[in-house]
Amino acid sequence: MPEDDARQPAAFFDAGFAARLVGRSLLVGLTELDHEGALIRRRQVFGIVTVAERARGICVRSETDGAEFWLPPDTRGINPAEPGEYRNRTTGEVVADPDYTAVWTYTRPRPRN
């Protein structure tokens, strides 16, 4: 098994599904925790998927400011969105009828001494 596959099992990335994501809208909810599991912050990212590749990951480009946000190459948590309006609790921005949604929780590693 190549080293790359050891870090990112093929089962985590569905290439066919990823190809269908490109050009579609994705609303991502992100939760960041410290190394002990305490909440640091929550935020949302919304935009159009411009890249979805096993080697590079999934890129979401904001339609508002063009900023790019990269996700790991893992399609398991990306699901078709329920129709409706989604409100960003931090900014108040409303996203209507995104194509897909995803939720990610990131835990920071323990600080090195």
For 53-65, write each residue's pLDDT tens digit.
Answer: 999 999 999 988 9
Contact by Cβ (8 Å): 31, 104: yes
Q: Is the pTM of this model over 0.95?
A: no
pLDDT above 70: residue 26: yes
